[in-house]
């Protein structure tokens, strides 16, 4: 399977704490993306990092990419209850653009 693995599968933290999720993938990529999914809803794009980038920031989000280890991490700083959702990484191989392979996802629960 090409599917990436994410860990942890589930993460529960208190509001204000930082949340870190990791993603590992198996094949060479053009870019890696992180998506958020609220329960029973569609996916919302969070951030895209290209294979030649190592780190990217967007608001409270920080993404790193290590292509030598085929891994990425998503850090959410100062988490809020509204950040409660499932987070997926997705990669596209060096071939067909936009054909994404999703990781297994991390379910984040932020409590007050």
Partner 1 sequence: GAVVSQHPSWVICKSGTSVKIECRSLDFQATTMFWYRQFPKQSLMLMATSNEGSKATYEQGVEKDKFLINHASLTLSTLTVTSAHPEDSSFYICSASHLAGGPRIGELFFGEGSRLTVL
List residues binding partner 1 (CB under 8 A): 3, 30-31, 33, 35, 40-45, 48, 88, 90, 92, 96-105, 107
- The least distance separating partner 1 from the CB of residue 112, rounded to whole angstroms, comes to 23
* Residue nearer to partner 1 on the CB measure, 15 or 53: 53
**Encoded tokens for 7:** 């860990």
Which among 81, 51, 45 has a CA at the least distance from the CA of 64? 51
Please state whether the peptide bond connecting residue 8 to the residue before it is cis, i.e. omega within 30 degrees of 0: yes
DSSP conformation class of 80 = -
- The least distance separating partner 1 from the CB of residue 108, rounded to whole angstroms, comes to 13
* Residue nearer to partner 1 on the CB measure, 78 or 97: 97
* Residue nearer to partner 1 on the CB measure, 40 or 112: 40
Which among 85, 73, 92, 74 has a CA at the least distance from the CA of 110? 85
């Amino acid at each position: 399977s090409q599917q990436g693995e994410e860990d942890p599968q589930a993460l529960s933290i208190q509001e204000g704490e930082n949340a870190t999720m990791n993603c590992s993938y198996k094949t060479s990529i053009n870019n890696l993306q992180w998506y958020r999914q609220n329960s029973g809803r569609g996916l919302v794009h969070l951030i895209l990092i290209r294979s030649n980038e190592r780190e990217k920031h967007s608001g409270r989000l920080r993404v790193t990419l290590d292509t030598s280890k085929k891994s990425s991490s998503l850090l959410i700083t100062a988490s809020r209850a509204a950040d409660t959702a499932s987070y997926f990484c997705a990669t596209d191989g060096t071939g067909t653009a936009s054909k994404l392979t999703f990781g297994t996802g991390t379910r984040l629960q932020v409590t007050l």
